[in-house]
Amino acid sequence: MGFQDEYLAPEVNEIERHLHHYARWIGPAASPSGENHIADSLGHAGDTPLGVITSFQFTSGATKDWGTAVQIWGATDSALILPAGRQAYFDLAQLRVTDAQTDTHDWLLRIIAGATAAAGVTAGTFSDIPLFVENTNKTVTPTNFGMERRIAGTKMWGQLLHMTDDDAETLDAQFAIHGYPA
């Protein structure tokens, strides 16, 4: 094995582990518990309750400002949602916009990792995802985005910026999450 092969092999294995993986789609928990249990998996028979089918709703701030952060993943959600043996680490991998208050507008959705949203923003542990939403001829295709893998117990937040005009408006989304062993 040459130098390049020794360098690339671990990278290829990591990519394979991420791409060929079990994913769970999540929405808001039917019975949330503080900042610990925030999400439920979508539509899984046998879950308690029988899986959610709703979306997280984010509201932008007025005058092109960030809205209030919404928690989308709690401290105990890894143990409750991810497959057995894949609960030590997680990453958010995709989002699916299910509705927007206004048609054909531009948005920026910030996904934040941290004990609080403000702490995550200060630490720079967030990704900004630009979105254009057209409700009229809607094709709901998941949007891929890259988030660093996080240890179980890390809280995740979402925050919305409406870039088209100065109105405070809503956008609804669901998320795909991957779990990893220790």
CA–CA gap between residue 127 and residue 91 (Å, rounded): 12
Q: From 66, 91, 156, 169, select the one nearest 120 (Cα to Cα).
A: 156
Return the minimum-mean-pLDDT range out of 7-21, 98-112, 144-158: 7-21
Q: Quick one: average pLDDT of 139-157?
A: 88
**Total domain count, the chain:** 1
Q: Is the pLDDT reported for residue 56 higher than 70?
A: yes
Q: What CA–CA distances, in Å, run from 95 to 9, 11, 174?
A: 29, 25, 6
* 95-118 average pLDDT score: 93
* Full-model pTM: 0.85
Residue by residue, DSSP assigns 45-111 as TTSSSS-B---EEEEPBTTTBB---EEEE-TTHHHHHSPTT--SEEEEEEEEEEEESSSSEEEEEEE
Domain range for 151 is 3-180
